[in-house]
Structure 1
Amino acid sequence: MTSPQQARPHLAGNYAPVGEELTAYDLPVTGRIPAELAGWYLRNGPNPADAASGHWFFGDGMIHGVRLEGGRAVSYRNRWVRTRSFTDGARTYDDQGRRDLTVGPANTHVIRHAGRTLALVETALPYELTRDLDTVGAYDFGGKLGTAMTAHPKVCPVTGELHLFGYGMLETPYLTYHRADASGELVITRPVEVPGPTMMHDFNLTAEHVVFMDLPVVFDLDLAMAGTMPYHWDDGYGARLGVLRRNDPYGEVRWFGIDPCYVFHPLNAYDAPDGTIVLHVMRYPELWRRTGDVIDRRQEAVLWKWTIDPATGTVREEQCDDRPGEFPRVDDRLTGLEATYGHVTCGSSLVRYELGSGAATAHDFGPRRTPGEAAFAPAGDAAGGPGWLMTYVYDAGTDRSDLVILDAGDLAADPVATVHLPARVPYGFHGNWLAD
């Protein structure tokens, strides 16, 4: 008999879920953890509690956290996010077709804003967590958030505002933009008209603009009823970028056509001195034309640069590199500002791009060792200054995982420190360094 793991690749190997919640203290370390690092490295990802799910994207969220302090790896803990779907099997839609935004796996990202730590998935409300990763409950900004929340909100490093959006699948508006002030109060909500229910996973923020990506991966009810990824490529939908001025949040969204493609994750965006808007993104030429499988080896993302020219109404599209990769990140203190460097996970390597020249430096983790997304931890107060990159690395030879800390300014060097974890960390999605 074929096991679920054999039948579904997203449940096999290091995609397979772990079955226990652990707490371990005084973790062994190779190298030396910088004494300046005091806080939590947290990363979210799907980990179905019943060891079965229809798609990698559907599993219950589990946060894996390592506590660093005083040059020590103080502890590791992993905890499921106890959403209503996890605790009582609640459904997204009831028998009358009404949507319950508290139902979702909360499995994609984990952020902190205005003192709250939130586990996110783009199809539901966020779930608030305690410092020890216990679940507080669904969070709706005091009743003001009436849509799902993107898993990729952006914090403006200048104002402290949280920019976010929600997209719909069966009901209009298909896209709604929101903004919370630095204290966490939701102060702006406005619908944005788009032709249909596309999967808008992420968006772009600059000092002056919000840029939406309206791309041709469209909701498919038949796929949803079949229990798989409910989106497919649509040649007839088109592709465009929508630009909204931050100082006129209820104003016009101006749309700019681009070549059909898909983007899960932008690297960063900024306003150039010449009046253009520059975006670096991980661009797929297409996605899910034939299948909703999460890993489609026919198409892979590479780094591209889009330059929006409001004066001419055009977008210049340029490929920056040819190596496949995903999970792009910058120093978060440069979100929406021009950054010198960006980091992308490319197979067994982590690549640091010099975005002006296109030069790249790679750190290869070695045979059978696979890194995930790398978060930036700053050393000092200067945005864009020195710091470290942190990522969980899976070792197929030992079937264990490490937290690896690299010097962001010397990526080709040996790791600064490797924290050896008591268990395997399955492949997952996004996380952050949350400094004390």
Structure 2
Amino acid sequence: MTTAKPPYLTGHFTPVAEEVTATGLTVEGTIPPELSGRLLRNSHNPKPGITPTHWFKGSGMIHGIRVRDGRAEWYRNRWVHTPALDGAPYMTEHGPDLAASTAGTHIIEHAGRLLALCEANLPYELSPELDTIGPHDFDGKLRTAMTAHPKEDPVTGELHFFGSSPFPPYLTYHVADTTGTLVHTAEVPGATGALKHDFALTRRHIVFIEGNVTFDPTEHSGIPYGWNDQQPSRIGVMPRGTDGHHHIRWYSIEPGNMLHVSNAYEDGQGRIVLEGPTVDREGFHLSWNWWTGTPGRGSEPVSRSYTRRWTIDMHAHTVDEHIIDDLPVEFPTLNEDYLGTENRYQYAIAFPDENGLGGYGLVKYDRTTGARRIHQTGDARLPSEAVYVPAHNATNEDDGYLLTVVSDLKQDASQLLVLDATGLGTIATIHLPHRVTAGLHGSWIPDTPHNAA
């Protein structure tokens, strides 16, 4: 009798079996000539014959598409060659091996370095051609794991990030300057073993989120977390600066769990406004069943994930919160020039609901009017997280492009779509040499004199 494959090894999430390089990609439409750089995207992609016990434990593979002068010059995909790719365990007799990373969640560029990220480990540096250089510990100064969701301040260029752990110290905050030097590290008091996957940066504050998902030693999937009704759900607000950790305040919120922040900012009254998709208990369990391959009703990697808004009044010590949209979405993005300040537009991926109703699409929210627009990608076509790229001489927040890689099951193929961020129309379609595994996060790396490989 054969055992059915877990859902994260089937359909859109079927791993790619080999590394390839292709040049001179076919393009329909016209790539805007101002798009000059590389779209890099990460995905969990275990090697052939390997069945991880959890979606998040699949080894990372980076997919890259290079565009320049209106052409799609190359596509290449490469595994991140860490000890974990060859089976090295995370836990050893000496404790966690921070170098044994899946490196499968995100890829960013900061201070000229490409870093593949997984929140339980050190980042991994890659070459411009996506070859693995090795773990990066900021010249020995980083002694914790690094979140997969660091925030680069669009004004100062500093990189803000944290390391979290199910054991004390539960939360450590870090800042690297524009040269990539780690210049600040501080343990954050009051944190717990709750899962902290993402956080928010405003002009004046750091915002941490602890939901009802926390360390669970009885969980045997290899990711030791689970829903716990006794775990307080909270938001921690910490002033920016080297002594900010001494002044953090925690605010109770309704039960739930948020993986990804849309944005946060201080409004005209000095309140902090925070938004992002959240799940309730049922939504978490449906998603977890999919992530672990456990039988259950979960048929998508995210279920019952609705955008929520918190408004934190730090003077009254109150939080107003409510769901602002009933569409199941995840992977929120924005024009990152507006990160930490009030933004009008946000983007996300729409998923079918827990009953399988609705389809995949790319959503644009107008926070001023409350309107939403959906770019339907088509039957059996799953888009990736939309990466926003500003147009040259942009005057409006949405003057730019959205880049998304589509997994097309019917054609067993993938394309990179270049969409107009204003109206969501397709400007160009770049055909890739094989179907790209549906995955997680990525970045646009614009050309500079130093990275125009």
* TM tier, smaller: over 0.9
Moved more, 281-290 or 49-58: 281-290
Aligned CA-pair RMSD? 1.6
Task: Name the structure 2 match of 1:53.
Answer: 52
* Distance in 1 between residues matched to 2:376 and 2:129, nearest whole Å: 32
Distance of aligned partners of 1:201 and 1:435 in 2 relative to their CA distance in 1, 3 Å threshold: same
Task: Name the structure 2 match of 1:91.
Answer: 89
Task: Name the structure 2 match of 1:276.
Answer: 271
Helix, strand or coil at the partner of 1:244: strand
Task: Name the structure 1 match of 2:146.
Answer: 149
Distance of aligned partners of 1:130 and 1:238 in 2 relative to their CA distance in 1, 3 Å threshold: same
* Distance in 2 between residues matched to 1:195 and 1:117, nearest whole Å: 30
* Distance in 2 between residues matched to 1:71 and 1:46, nearest whole Å: 30
Helix, strand or coil at the partner of 1:221: coil
* Distance in 1 between residues matched to 2:336 and 2:286, nearest whole Å: 36
Give the letter for the 1:11 counterpart: L
Give the letter for the 2:229 counterpart: D
Write out aligned runs for 1:23-422 (5 A): 23-50=21-48, 51-87=50-86, 89-96=87-94, 98-169=95-166, 171-194=167-190, 196-223=192-219, 226-247=220-241, 248-286=243-281, 288-289=284-285, 292-294=288-290, 296=298, 299-347=303-351, 348-380=360-392, 382=394, 384-411=397-424, 413=425, 415-422=426-433
* Identity fraction in percent: 44
Equivalent pair of 2:147/2:162 in contact (CA under 8 Å) = yes
Q: Mind listing any 5+ residue stretches in structure 2 that lack a counterpart?
A: 292-297, 352-359, 448-453
Moved more, 423-432 or 10-19: 10-19
Equivalent pair of 1:211/1:243 in contact (CA under 8 Å) = yes
Equivalent pair of 2:54/2:223 in contact (CA under 8 Å) = yes
Equivalent pair of 1:340/1:356 in contact (CA under 8 Å) = yes
* Distance in 2 between residues matched to 1:381 and 1:123, nearest whole Å: 39
Report the alpha carbon displacement of residue 313 of structure 1 after superposing the two structures with TM: 0.4
Distance of aligned partners of 1:267 and 1:177 in 2 relative to their CA distance in 1, 3 Å threshold: same
Q: Deviations over 1:36-89 (max 9, x none)?
A: 1110001001000144211111100000010000100100000000012114x3
Task: Name the structure 2 match of 1:431.
Answer: 442
Report the alpha carbon displacement of residue 323 of structure 1 after superposing the two structures with TM: 0.6
* Distance in 1 between residues matched to 2:114 and 2:200, nearest whole Å: 22
Equivalent pair of 1:229/1:293 in contact (CA under 8 Å) = no
Give the letter for the 1:84 counterpart: P
Distance of aligned partners of 1:381 and 1:182 in 2 relative to their CA distance in 1, 3 Å threshold: farther
Distance of aligned partners of 1:237 and 1:60 in 2 relative to their CA distance in 1, 3 Å threshold: same
Equivalent pair of 1:45/1:427 in contact (CA under 8 Å) = yes
Distance of aligned partners of 1:71 and 1:17 in 2 relative to their CA distance in 1, 3 Å threshold: same
Distance of aligned partners of 1:41 and 1:299 in 2 relative to their CA distance in 1, 3 Å threshold: closer
Give the letter for the 1:109 counterpart: H
Counting matched residue pairs gives 427
Equivalent pair of 2:189/2:245 in contact (CA under 8 Å) = no
Equivalent pair of 1:272/1:278 in contact (CA under 8 Å) = yes
Equivalent pair of 2:7/2:290 in contact (CA under 8 Å) = no
Helix, strand or coil at the partner of 1:7: coil
Distance of aligned partners of 1:288 and 1:231 in 2 relative to their CA distance in 1, 3 Å threshold: farther
Q: Deviations over 1:154-186 (max 9, x none)?
A: 0000111101001112x3101111111121111
Q: Deviations over 1:217-262 (max 9, x none)?
A: 0111221xx3343211000011110000013434211011100110
* Distance in 2 between residues matched to 1:16 and 1:200, nearest whole Å: 28
Instruction: Return the TM-score normalized by structure 1.
Output: 0.94
* Distance in 1 between residues matched to 2:168 and 2:138, nearest whole Å: 21
Task: Name the structure 2 match of 1:20.
Answer: 18
Give the letter for the 1:103 counterpart: A
Q: Deviations over 1:1-20 (max 9, x none)?
A: 324xx231111122121111
Equivalent pair of 1:194/1:214 in contact (CA under 8 Å) = no
Equivalent pair of 2:110/2:159 in contact (CA under 8 Å) = yes
Equivalent pair of 1:214/1:241 in contact (CA under 8 Å) = yes
Equivalent pair of 1:118/1:128 in contact (CA under 8 Å) = yes
* Distance in 1 between residues matched to 2:73 and 2:366, nearest whole Å: 34
Report the alpha carbon displacement of residue 407 of structure 1 after superposing the two structures with TM: 0.3
Report the alpha carbon displacement of residue 290 of structure 1 after superposing the two structures with TM: 7.9
Q: Mind listing any 5+ residue stretches in structure 1 that lack a counterpart?
A: none
Report the alpha carbon displacement of residue 216 of structure 1 after superposing the two structures with TM: 1.2
